[in-house]
Amino acid sequence: MSALDLTALFEPRGVVIVGASTSPGKLGHAMAQSLESYAGSVRLVNARPSPGMFGSIAEAVSSTADIDLAVMCVPASVTATAVRESADAGVRAALVCAGGFAEAGGAGSGYAQDLDAVIAETGIRVLGPNTSGFFVPGDALFASFVPGVREFGSGSVAVVAASGGINHVLSFGLQEEGAGVSLGVGLGAGQDVTAPDVLRYLAAHEQTRAVILHVESIPDGRDLVDAVAALAASKPVVALIVGRNDVAEFAQSHTGALTTSWRTARALLRQAGAVVVDDEAHAVAAAIALSKGRARPQRAPGIGLITGQAGPGLVVADRLLGDGWTLPPLSAHSARRLSDHLPPLTFQGNPVDTGRPGESFPDVVAVVSEDPSIDIIGVYAITEEVIDLPRAVARGLASEGGIPAVVAVDGTSADVAAARRSARDSGIAIVRGPTPLARALSALAEDARLRAVLDDAPVLSHAALTPEPVDGWNGDWDEIRAKDLLGTLGIRTPIRLRCAGRAEAQAALATLGRSVAVKLVDADVLHKSDIGGVVLGVDSPQAMDAALDSLESIGASEFLVEEMADAGVELVVGARIDEAFGPVVVVGLGGVAAEVMGDVAIRSAPLSERAASTMIDDLVAVDLVDGYRGAPAVDRSELGRILMSLGQVVADGRIAEIEINPLRVTADGLIALDAVVVAATSSTTGVAS
């Protein structure tokens, strides 16, 4: 079986359970019960067999010619041997549920190495270890020991989760919403089969129309990003990434502190086309909506909201507007058409408040969906006997087609269940409650925006190499040398002089002829202001003497004297080698605000100038750099060129990290006031190449 072919795992003709048991409470018993419903051959193996069991894997497999999958319910210490016996018998895939491998250390690390050796030597594909399993409800294949899995209904949403527990949490959530599951996978340790493997398998999985991806640790971020990008081009991907508070190991610069594993994973998976969500309920609502259809790609899709009750409608509208989406006003033509179907006291703009839904509801849906400014429809109502809401929405959309819609209801459990059945029969996405509706609509809008952005972002070629600095790339990088590099990249810096002593510093003040900044020069000190290594506004010989006294008191023997820049909003920009994802570029608010607020945008490098120039739009505080209250506005093209250049030098493997902080926005353009460069090592060069 090839690296991408997981059919023996997820579509086996038959299954052998190794370590099956007749004793309730044991893993082998629970797994045998879960697999009772499977239509294919199921063989039970135990070294001390009971009636109906086989004494060895070879014996069980030889009794039928169609066993593709071995489910291991044995301890870690004997798993590698059992997997090898399965492969020798012709089995092509194995599920390993046991823990006690590399995560346990000690002997467990040896068990993991033994399993790796078997995988490498036999080519068998292994899911796990340390997982509760997987399930394919449409085939009644439940290779999971979790109680209740056989209640999962077949659906069109697949779950690919790092954690077996989260796989079940998300799948139970989909089941409760009436959506069902096409495939649910808990990767566990991911010793062989990984998330990218499953994502590539799902690209050709006909039943799956949307995927929820749950991410914890990321051994190979670039492979994950590539797999997400390939899948998202044809099927929507919803990503739930845990680890918000894990800052892990980072470089000494602000750029390293800002590009935490969690933040980088979210940014780069979004760059690849995934809709990134914050929790499991958000993931379920998003996937339900996207599984029923996608809006056409565009940067600012218009959302039409129709509600039978004003209060819940306001909750939805407020959440959508807070997320940055638009509820565009309907055209005059649409308003006239609505007046034919709604009482005068109803609100006939957007949102449309219909009052109690009635027989004209499909006509209202048709009017809103046919308005040229509307790309996505959301409908909310408390269940009413007078109208079948999902069916009414489906009727209203019939003449338009192509516009995705989400219905949200509230009511008694029986009424909501009936609405879910109707939605399933009508092919309409349905959730329960105002907030899930807002989340679902946001997901549809974000998916449309991401696809439009990806369509507009050309791939950058490595053909044009970065200019060589005058003195090469090796050795220590103090601020002066770092700024010389910026000059070769076409990035403006203040006029400056390197001064070996006090006399040269006084002469530099006289030469520059204006207020200057005086700084410590030391390649080992990256954050000079933290130790008093920067004195600003020096404008006289007396002030220079005082500044030099202060700097000498902290050990300075060499000084940088440079012109003061005009006032303006400050940014931090940088590029570095991320351990999991390779070269990344970051932009955010500069100075202390960078780390305090964490308002940053991150992209994989290299990237085009056009793609880089739009990064600033991801910042919450983007208005501050867009000319807020008459302040100078950032030149996006210039910023794009800077980000592109920084990303290129890191992607080329020439340096490990480069940062400008602050990069000041002035009326004359962008100017780099401080710079940090970290030299490449053999390991970082290998990552970047």
The DSSP result for 151-192, as a single string, is GPPEEEEEEEESSHHHHHHHHHHHHHTT--EEEEEE-TT-SS
Question: Does residue 407 sit in the same domain as residue 531?
Answer: no
Is 34 within the bounds of a domain? no
Contact between 97 and 61 under an 8 Å Cβ cutoff? The reply is: no
CATH number at residue 514: 3.30.1490.20
For residue 620, the SS3 value is coil
Contact between 465 and 323 under an 8 Å Cβ cutoff? The reply is: no
pLDDT of residue 456: 63
pLDDT of residue 530: 84
Boundary residue ending a domain (503, 535, 563): 563
Overall number of domains in the chain: 3
Tell me the residue range of the domain where 621 lies: 570-688
Question: Does residue 535 sit in the same domain as residue 594?
Answer: no
- For the chain, how many residues are written? 689
Is pLDDT at 589 greater than 80 in this prediction? yes
Is 576 within the bounds of a domain? yes
CA 370, chain centre distance (Å): 33
| Single-letter residue type at 87 | A
pTM: 0.91
Question: Does residue 504 sit in the same domain as residue 640?
Answer: no
pLDDT of residue 95: 98
Mean pLDDT of the region 263-277? 94
- Assigned token pair, 554: 């902290």
pLDDT of residue 110: 97
Helix, strand, coil percentages (3-state) for the chain, rounded to 5, are 40, 20, 40
pLDDT of residue 471: 78
pLDDT of residue 351: 94
- Residue 671 DSSP one-character state: E
pLDDT of residue 252: 38
Rounded to whole angstroms, the Cα distance separating 556 from 442 reads 54
Mean pLDDT of the region 463-478? 76
Is 248 within the bounds of a domain? no
Is pLDDT at 349 greater than 60 in this prediction? yes
Boundary residue ending a domain (456, 481, 512): 456
Residue 504 burial by Cβ neighbours in a 10 Å radius (0-12, 13-18, 19+):
middle
Rounded to whole angstroms, the Cα distance separating 240 from 282 reads 9
Is pLDDT at 686 greater than 50 in this prediction? no
For residue 15, the SS3 value is strand
pLDDT of residue 281: 96
Residue 592 burial by Cβ neighbours in a 10 Å radius (0-12, 13-18, 19+):
exposed
Question: Is the model more confident about 397 or about 683?
Answer: 397
Which residues lie below 8 Å from residue 472, measured CB to CB, with a gap of 6+?
none
Confidence of residue 248 (pLDDT cuts 50, 70, 90): very low
Question: Does residue 554 sit in the same domain as residue 578?
Answer: no
Q: Which residues pair with 15 in a beta bridge?
A: 42, 69
Average per-residue pLDDT for the chain: 90
Is 590 within the bounds of a domain? yes
For residue 153, the SS3 value is coil
Is 350 within the bounds of a domain? yes
Question: Does residue 622 sit in the same domain as residue 556?
Answer: no
Confidence of residue 181 (pLDDT cuts 50, 70, 90): very high
Is 211 within the bounds of a domain? no
Which of 479-483, 505-509, 579-583 shows the lowest per-residue confidence on average (mean pLDDT)?
A: 579-583
Contact between 83 and 57 under an 8 Å Cβ cutoff? The reply is: no
Is 279 within the bounds of a domain? no
Convert the pLDDT of each residue in 655-678 to its tens digit. 999 999 999 999 999 999 999 999
Provide the 10 A C-beta neighbour count for residue 494: 18
- Per-residue CA distances from 454 to 131, 132, 274, 289, 449 (Å): 35, 36, 11, 21, 9
Question: Is the model more confident about 611 or about 211?
Answer: 211
Convert the pLDDT of each residue in 91-150 to its tens digit. 999 999 999 999 899 999 999 999 999 999 999 999 999 999 999 999 999 999 998 899
Confidence of residue 41 (pLDDT cuts 50, 70, 90): very high
| Single-letter residue type at 547 | A
CATH number at residue 664: 3.30.470.20
Provide the 10 A C-beta neighbour count for residue 4: 12
Convert the pLDDT of each residue in 518-555 to its tens digit. 999 998 888 888 899 999 999 999 999 999 999 999 99
Mean pLDDT of the region 49-72? 92
Convert the pLDDT of each residue in 393-438 to its tens digit. 999 997 655 699 999 999 999 999 999 999 999 999 999 999 999 9
Nearest to 591 by CA among 526, 663, 520: 663
Is pLDDT at 612 greater than 60 in this prediction? yes
Question: Does residue 311 sit in the same domain as residue 444?
Answer: yes
Contact between 521 and 582 under an 8 Å Cβ cutoff? The reply is: no
Question: Does residue 636 sit in the same domain as residue 680?
Answer: yes
Our CA dihedral for 345, 349, 355, 357, rounded to 10 degrees, sits at 130
Q: Which residues pair with 276 in a beta bridge?
A: 239
Question: Does residue 361 sit in the same domain as residue 502?
Answer: no
Boundary residue ending a domain (563, 589, 615): 563
Which of 35-49, 244-258, 397-411 shows the lowest per-residue confidence on average (mean pLDDT)?
A: 244-258
Is pLDDT at 271 greater than 90 in this prediction? yes
pLDDT of residue 354: 87
- Per-residue CA distances from 470 to 329, 435, 492, 631, 680 (Å): 58, 58, 17, 36, 17
Question: Is the model more confident about 65 or about 132?
Answer: 132
φ and ψ of 466, to 5 deg: -70, 140
Which residues lie below 8 Å from residue 629, measured CB to CB, with a gap of 6+?
none
Is 231 within the bounds of a domain? no
pLDDT of residue 524: 86
pLDDT of residue 347: 74
Residue 291 burial by Cβ neighbours in a 10 Å radius (0-12, 13-18, 19+):
buried
Question: Does residue 558 sit in the same domain as residue 678?
Answer: no
- Per-residue CA distances from 673 to 381, 519, 566, 663 (Å): 56, 11, 11, 6
- Assigned token pair, 189: 């340790």
Mean pLDDT of the region 456-460? 54
Is pLDDT at 249 greater than 60 in this prediction? no
CATH number at residue 434: 3.40.50.261
Question: Does residue 600 sit in the same domain as residue 669?
Answer: yes
Question: Is the model more confident about 330 or about 620?
Answer: 330
Question: Does residue 434 sit in the same domain as residue 306?
Answer: yes
Question: Does residue 325 sit in the same domain as residue 431?
Answer: yes
